[in-house]
Amino acid sequence: MKRTEPRLHGLYAITDARQSEPQTVIRTAQQALRGGARLLQYRDKSDDPGRRRQTAQALRKATRTYGALLIVNDDLALAEACDADGVHLGRDDGDVSAARARLGPRAIIGASCYDRLELAHTAIAAGADYVAFGRFFPSRTKPEAVPADLELLHRAKRELDAPVVAIGGIHAGNAAPLVAAGADMLAVVDGLFAQPDVEAAARRLSALYAGQDD
Protein backbone atom coordinates (compact mmCIF):
# COMPACT_ATOMS: atom_id res chain seq x y z
CA MET A 1 0.00 0.00 0.00
CA LYS A 2 1.48 3.33 -1.03
CA ARG A 3 2.07 5.75 1.81
CA THR A 4 0.46 9.17 1.53
CA GLU A 5 2.67 12.20 0.96
CA PRO A 6 0.37 15.08 0.03
CA ARG A 7 3.20 17.32 -1.16
CA LEU A 8 4.47 14.79 -3.69
CA HIS A 9 1.58 14.90 -6.11
CA GLY A 10 0.85 16.66 -9.38
CA LEU A 11 2.97 18.51 -11.91
CA TYR A 12 6.74 18.35 -11.33
CA ALA A 13 8.45 21.01 -13.45
CA ILE A 14 12.14 20.52 -14.27
CA THR A 15 14.07 23.54 -15.48
CA ASP A 16 15.69 23.26 -18.89
CA ALA A 17 19.45 22.87 -18.36
CA ARG A 18 20.00 24.19 -21.89
CA GLN A 19 18.76 27.64 -20.85
CA SER A 20 21.86 29.60 -19.88
CA GLU A 21 20.28 32.92 -18.96
CA PRO A 22 19.25 32.95 -15.26
CA GLN A 23 16.45 35.44 -15.77
CA THR A 24 14.90 33.18 -18.41
CA VAL A 25 15.06 30.20 -16.06
CA ILE A 26 13.50 32.20 -13.24
CA ARG A 27 10.80 33.81 -15.38
CA THR A 28 9.65 30.58 -17.00
CA ALA A 29 9.77 28.74 -13.67
CA GLN A 30 7.45 31.37 -12.21
CA GLN A 31 5.09 30.83 -15.13
CA ALA A 32 5.05 27.08 -14.49
CA LEU A 33 4.37 27.68 -10.81
CA ARG A 34 1.50 30.04 -11.64
CA GLY A 35 0.12 27.29 -13.86
CA GLY A 36 0.00 24.86 -10.95
CA ALA A 37 3.35 23.09 -10.73
CA ARG A 38 3.62 21.57 -7.26
CA LEU A 39 7.33 20.80 -7.41
CA LEU A 40 10.16 22.54 -9.22
CA GLN A 41 13.49 20.86 -9.86
CA TYR A 42 16.47 23.08 -10.60
CA ARG A 43 18.71 21.25 -13.05
CA ASP A 44 21.85 23.03 -14.20
CA LYS A 45 25.00 21.16 -15.20
CA SER A 46 27.07 24.30 -15.87
CA ASP A 47 30.40 25.03 -14.18
CA ASP A 48 29.44 28.47 -12.86
CA PRO A 49 28.75 27.94 -9.13
CA GLY A 50 27.99 31.59 -8.47
CA ARG A 51 25.32 31.73 -11.15
CA ARG A 52 23.86 28.42 -10.05
CA ARG A 53 23.60 29.56 -6.44
CA GLN A 54 22.03 32.90 -7.38
CA THR A 55 19.49 31.18 -9.62
CA ALA A 56 18.69 28.55 -7.01
CA GLN A 57 18.08 31.21 -4.37
CA ALA A 58 15.69 33.04 -6.71
CA LEU A 59 13.85 29.79 -7.42
CA ARG A 60 13.65 29.10 -3.69
CA LYS A 61 11.90 32.44 -3.24
CA ALA A 62 9.52 31.70 -6.13
CA THR A 63 8.52 28.27 -4.83
CA ARG A 64 7.77 29.72 -1.42
CA THR A 65 5.62 32.41 -3.03
CA TYR A 66 3.54 29.78 -4.84
CA GLY A 67 3.51 27.16 -2.09
CA ALA A 68 5.57 24.66 -4.09
CA LEU A 69 8.64 22.55 -3.32
CA LEU A 70 12.15 23.19 -4.63
CA ILE A 71 14.28 20.16 -5.47
CA VAL A 72 17.89 20.53 -6.61
CA ASN A 73 19.28 18.06 -9.11
CA ASP A 74 22.42 16.22 -8.06
CA ASP A 75 24.02 18.88 -5.82
CA LEU A 76 23.74 18.44 -2.05
CA ALA A 77 25.85 21.51 -1.30
CA LEU A 78 23.66 23.73 -3.48
CA ALA A 79 20.51 22.29 -1.91
CA GLU A 80 21.88 23.22 1.51
CA ALA A 81 23.03 26.66 0.37
CA CYS A 82 19.64 27.70 -0.99
CA ASP A 83 17.59 25.90 1.70
CA ALA A 84 15.91 23.68 -0.88
CA ASP A 85 13.32 21.14 0.14
CA GLY A 86 15.46 18.31 -1.16
CA VAL A 87 17.51 16.74 -3.93
CA HIS A 88 17.07 14.38 -6.84
CA LEU A 89 19.76 11.79 -7.52
CA GLY A 90 20.47 9.86 -10.70
CA ARG A 91 22.39 6.63 -11.00
CA ASP A 92 25.77 8.39 -10.92
CA ASP A 93 24.85 11.25 -8.58
CA GLY A 94 25.59 9.73 -5.20
CA ASP A 95 24.08 7.47 -2.59
CA VAL A 96 20.55 8.00 -1.24
CA SER A 97 21.51 7.00 2.30
CA ALA A 98 24.49 9.39 2.27
CA ALA A 99 22.23 12.20 1.08
CA ARG A 100 19.75 11.40 3.86
CA ALA A 101 22.52 11.45 6.46
CA ARG A 102 23.73 14.83 5.23
CA LEU A 103 20.40 16.58 4.63
CA GLY A 104 18.45 15.14 7.54
CA PRO A 105 15.07 13.47 7.99
CA ARG A 106 12.94 16.34 6.68
CA ALA A 107 14.62 16.59 3.28
CA ILE A 108 12.87 15.15 0.25
CA ILE A 109 15.11 12.78 -1.67
CA GLY A 110 14.17 11.44 -5.08
CA ALA A 111 15.90 8.77 -7.13
CA SER A 112 15.94 7.97 -10.84
CA CYS A 113 15.13 4.32 -11.45
CA TYR A 114 14.85 4.28 -15.25
CA ASP A 115 13.00 1.08 -16.25
CA ARG A 116 14.07 -0.99 -13.24
CA LEU A 117 11.70 -1.72 -10.40
CA GLU A 118 14.49 -3.30 -8.34
CA LEU A 119 16.31 0.05 -8.28
CA ALA A 120 13.19 1.62 -6.83
CA HIS A 121 12.94 -0.97 -4.06
CA THR A 122 16.60 -0.36 -3.20
CA ALA A 123 16.23 3.43 -3.26
CA ILE A 124 13.18 3.38 -1.00
CA ALA A 125 14.91 1.05 1.44
CA ALA A 126 17.82 3.52 1.54
CA GLY A 127 15.49 6.42 2.37
CA ALA A 128 14.19 7.84 -0.91
CA ASP A 129 10.87 9.68 -0.62
CA TYR A 130 9.91 9.18 -4.27
CA VAL A 131 11.18 7.26 -7.28
CA ALA A 132 11.17 8.27 -10.96
CA PHE A 133 10.76 6.02 -13.99
CA GLY A 134 11.23 6.79 -17.66
CA ARG A 135 11.60 7.81 -20.40
CA PHE A 136 8.02 7.03 -21.42
CA PHE A 137 8.17 8.89 -24.75
CA PRO A 138 10.97 10.09 -27.04
CA SER A 139 12.83 12.84 -25.22
CA ARG A 140 14.89 15.69 -26.61
CA THR A 141 16.38 16.27 -23.15
CA LYS A 142 17.66 12.70 -22.78
CA PRO A 143 17.28 10.97 -26.15
CA GLU A 144 19.52 8.05 -25.09
CA ALA A 145 17.45 7.20 -22.00
CA VAL A 146 16.08 3.68 -21.81
CA PRO A 147 12.33 3.38 -22.58
CA ALA A 148 9.79 2.49 -19.90
CA ASP A 149 6.18 1.39 -20.33
CA LEU A 150 2.82 1.68 -18.65
CA GLU A 151 3.04 -1.81 -17.16
CA LEU A 152 6.00 -0.60 -15.10
CA LEU A 153 3.79 2.10 -13.61
CA HIS A 154 1.06 -0.40 -12.85
CA ARG A 155 3.56 -2.64 -11.06
CA ALA A 156 5.10 0.29 -9.19
CA LYS A 157 1.67 1.35 -7.98
CA ARG A 158 1.00 -2.16 -6.67
CA GLU A 159 4.40 -2.86 -5.14
CA LEU A 160 6.04 0.35 -3.95
CA ASP A 161 5.46 2.20 -0.71
CA ALA A 162 6.36 5.62 -2.15
CA PRO A 163 5.11 8.14 -4.71
CA VAL A 164 6.05 7.46 -8.33
CA VAL A 165 7.19 9.98 -10.94
CA ALA A 166 6.87 9.50 -14.70
CA ILE A 167 9.41 11.34 -16.85
CA GLY A 168 10.51 11.54 -20.47
CA GLY A 169 8.90 13.30 -23.41
CA ILE A 170 5.72 14.10 -21.50
CA HIS A 171 3.34 16.84 -22.61
CA ALA A 172 -0.33 17.62 -22.19
CA GLY A 173 -1.28 15.55 -25.22
CA ASN A 174 0.21 12.25 -24.05
CA ALA A 175 0.22 12.46 -20.25
CA ALA A 176 -3.27 11.21 -19.34
CA PRO A 177 -2.46 7.47 -19.64
CA LEU A 178 0.48 7.92 -17.27
CA VAL A 179 -1.76 9.45 -14.62
CA ALA A 180 -4.33 6.70 -15.15
CA ALA A 181 -1.59 4.08 -14.73
CA GLY A 182 -0.62 5.47 -11.34
CA ALA A 183 1.92 8.26 -11.82
CA ASP A 184 1.68 10.43 -8.70
CA MET A 185 3.73 13.12 -10.44
CA LEU A 186 4.53 14.06 -14.03
CA ALA A 187 8.07 15.38 -14.48
CA VAL A 188 8.13 17.69 -17.49
CA VAL A 189 10.81 19.75 -19.24
CA ASP A 190 10.05 20.49 -22.92
CA GLY A 191 6.32 19.93 -22.41
CA LEU A 192 6.49 23.11 -20.34
CA PHE A 193 9.58 25.15 -21.09
CA ALA A 194 9.64 24.64 -24.88
CA GLN A 195 6.02 25.76 -25.18
CA PRO A 196 5.00 29.25 -26.33
CA ASP A 197 2.82 29.69 -23.22
CA VAL A 198 4.44 27.98 -20.25
CA GLU A 199 1.68 28.85 -17.80
CA ALA A 200 -1.05 27.49 -20.08
CA ALA A 201 0.90 24.27 -20.62
CA ALA A 202 1.29 23.91 -16.86
CA ARG A 203 -2.43 24.41 -16.34
CA ARG A 204 -3.28 21.70 -18.87
CA LEU A 205 -0.94 19.23 -17.21
CA SER A 206 -2.05 20.14 -13.69
CA ALA A 207 -5.69 19.65 -14.71
CA LEU A 208 -4.99 15.95 -15.18
CA TYR A 209 -4.88 15.69 -11.39
CA ALA A 210 -8.05 17.69 -10.79
CA GLY A 211 -10.40 15.95 -8.41
CA GLN A 212 -7.79 13.61 -7.00
CA ASP A 213 -7.25 13.60 -3.27
CA ASP A 214 -3.93 15.21 -2.40
Strands (E) located in the chain: 10-14, 39-42, 69-73, 86-89, 108-114, 130-133, 164-167, 185-188
4 within domain boundaries: no
Identify the pLDDT of residue 13: 98
The answer to whether 209 and 179 have CB atoms below 8 angstroms apart is yes
Domain containing 178: what range? 10-209
Residues 6 or more apart whose Cβ sits within 8 Å of residue 104 = none
142 included as an active-site residue = yes
61 included as an active-site residue = no
* pLDDT tens track for 105-152: 999 999 999 999 999 999 999 999 999 999 999 988 777 788 999 999
CATH number of the domain within which 156 lies: 3.20.20.70
7 included as an active-site residue = no
Mean residue pLDDT of the chain comes to 93
Instruction: Please tell me which residue in 38, 43, 100, 204 is annotated as part of the active site.
Output: 43
120 within domain boundaries: yes
Task: State how many domains the chain has.
Answer: 1
Identify the pLDDT of residue 18: 86
Instruction: Please tell me which residue in 51, 102, 142, 155 is annotated as part of the active site.
Output: 142
The answer to whether 110 and 87 have CB atoms below 8 angstroms apart is yes
pLDDT > 70 in the chain, percent: 96
Residue 7 banded pLDDT, cuts 50, 70, 90: confident
Q: To the nearest 5 percent, what fractions of the chain are helix, strand and coil?
A: 40, 15, 45
Q: Evaluate if residue 76 carries a pLDDT over 60.
A: yes
Q: Evaluate if residue 2 carries a pLDDT over 70.
A: no
Instruction: Please tell me which residue in 60, 112, 204, 206 is annotated as part of the active site.
Output: 112
**What's the pTM?**
0.95
The answer to whether 42 and 71 have CB atoms below 8 angstroms apart is yes
Identify the pLDDT of residue 213: 55
5 within domain boundaries: no
